[in-house]
């Protein structure tokens, strides 16, 4: 699976991976279509790593820092699959950590 290029999810968010290095590291931008932040959404930097497998169905992970419009950070992990139609598809799970004002509020900071 070649992560380089544009990817879009079911909610309309888009990710652009600029280049995957020989060691599997990559960077890019995430353009989220959904947010609960009060500021307007901005493209956000991402950095990640891909496990390069011979079968092409690699695992990967990346972090997105929403610093341009929110006090939160998200991490994504996933795997690339080669679909029956020959197209590559990514399946991911994510965690979002929002800033809270005190330690007692920590319980509600991660989704």
Domains of the chain: 5-108 (2.40.128.30)
**Per-residue pLDDT tens listing for the chain (111 residues):** 889 999 999 999 999 999 999 999 999 999 988 777 777 878 999 999 999 877 767 899 999 999 888 889 999 999 998 888 988 999 999 999 999 999 999 999 998
* Rounded-to-integer distance, Cα 11 and Cα 5, Å: 18
Determine the 3-state secondary structure of 13 from DSSP. Answer: coil
Q: Give pTM, 2 decimals.
A: 0.87
Over its C-alpha atoms, the chain yields an Rg (Å, rounded) of: 15
């Amino acid at each position: 699976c070649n992560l380089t290029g544009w990817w879009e999810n079911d909610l309309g968010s888009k990710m652009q991976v600029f280049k995957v290095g020989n060691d599997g590291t990559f960077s890019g931008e995430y353009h989220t279509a959904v947010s609960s932040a009060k500021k307007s959404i901005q493209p956000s930097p991402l950095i990640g790593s891909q496990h390069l497998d011979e079968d092409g169905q690699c695992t990967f992970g990346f972090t997105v820092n929403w610093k341009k419009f929110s006090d939160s950070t998200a991490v994504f992990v996933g795997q690339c699959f080669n679909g029956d139609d020959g197209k590559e598809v990514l399946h991911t799970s994510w965690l979002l950590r929002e800033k809270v004002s005190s330690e007692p509020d920590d319980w509600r900071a991660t989704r």
